[in-house]
Amino acid sequence: MTDQDTFEQTNHAAYKTTALTDRKMKKARLKMIAALFSVSVMIAIPFFKAKHLAFNAFYNTTLEDWVFFWEFDPGREPLILRMPVVYLFIGLGILYCIVLFSEMNKAKHKPETFDGSHFKKLYGRFDILVFILHLMTLYMIVNAFFFSVATIDGNSMNPTLYDQDNVVMMHMDETYERFDLIVVKPDVMQDEFYIKRLIGLPGDTLRIDFGDVYLNDVRLDEPYLDPSVDTLCPSRQGETLDVCTFTLSEDEYFVMGDNRNHSTDSRHLGNFEKHAIYGTVGYRIYPFSSIGKVE
């Protein structure tokens, strides 16, 4: 082999290495932009749809909830463990972008100090992180704008829904119809949500009369109730009235549980304004034997 051949082979190998590095750099830039886009979306969602993030696992669980092998005294946990999980991944995404950008900048301006094998490892780890960030972003978009999954706690909706049923709550449309199953939050200062049936719409007058419900003076047919259930007025000063009337204003809704004798609802909590409604429940996804639409 001549010196010329050796020189050409060396140049060809150097060209291939440079071309390979350039391709990786371009892919790394695209992945970095994609990661920053996902991070930006996760940061922006609470400003547009903070209401529905109440059902988002990444915003409502902390690192402490995910750490089972450490035990801390109440109030003594490290600050990082008290942060919502989503902030950890946002921080990791930003940090990794900074590190990757630093390595790319080094390769461009100080190629003699650039470690290709180290960059390859970083790039591989970044692939995994970007994939996780994209999945989290997709989940948060769906959760904030389309639907959430909730678990029934209690028996106030028997026989329509039962304790520990998992249901899908839709919140794409804020137009609510009579008899919809809706999710309401009685107190903005607490994290407790109720699933109830929408009975009274804005402007309605509702009367409970000896166990029957009258809507605008017309007796309401309620086939979803157990035949043995009577609708009772709320107790006042230890006495339950036989007849009581509720009048709704132009932005108020009246809800009741299907298990009327064991339900805390508008009879006790009062009417709900529209901003207290978080969505409609249309489908049950667990238990598997009862999967399907609920009405």
Q: Which pLDDT value is given to residue 284? A: 94
Catalytic site residue from 38, 148, 156, 263: 156
Task: Record the pTM.
Answer: 0.77
Catalytic site residue from 31, 38, 185, 196: 196
| 156 flagged as catalytic | yes
Every domain of the chain and the residues it spans: 3-145, 148-293
Q: Which pLDDT value is given to residue 51? A: 82
Contact 182, 283 (CB under 8 A): no
Domain 148-293 = CATH 1.10.10.10:
no
Q: Which pLDDT value is given to residue 189? A: 60
Q: Which pLDDT value is given to residue 116? A: 67
Among candidate residues 162, 169, 125, the one with its CA nearest the CA of residue 146: 169
pLDDT digits (tens, 9 = 90+) for 163-199: 999 999 998 888 899 999 999 988 866 778 999 999 9
* 10-residue stretch averages of pLDDT, the chain, 295 residues long: 47 42 75 87 86 80 66 64 81 84 74 67 77 89 88 92 93 90 83 92 94 93 90 80 91 95 91 92 91 89
Q: Which pLDDT value is given to residue 250? A: 92
Query: In terms of C-beta density within 10 A (0-12 exposed, 13-18 middle, 19 or more buried), how is residue 222 classed?
Result: middle
The C-alpha atoms of residue 35 and residue 226 are separated, in whole angstroms, by 53
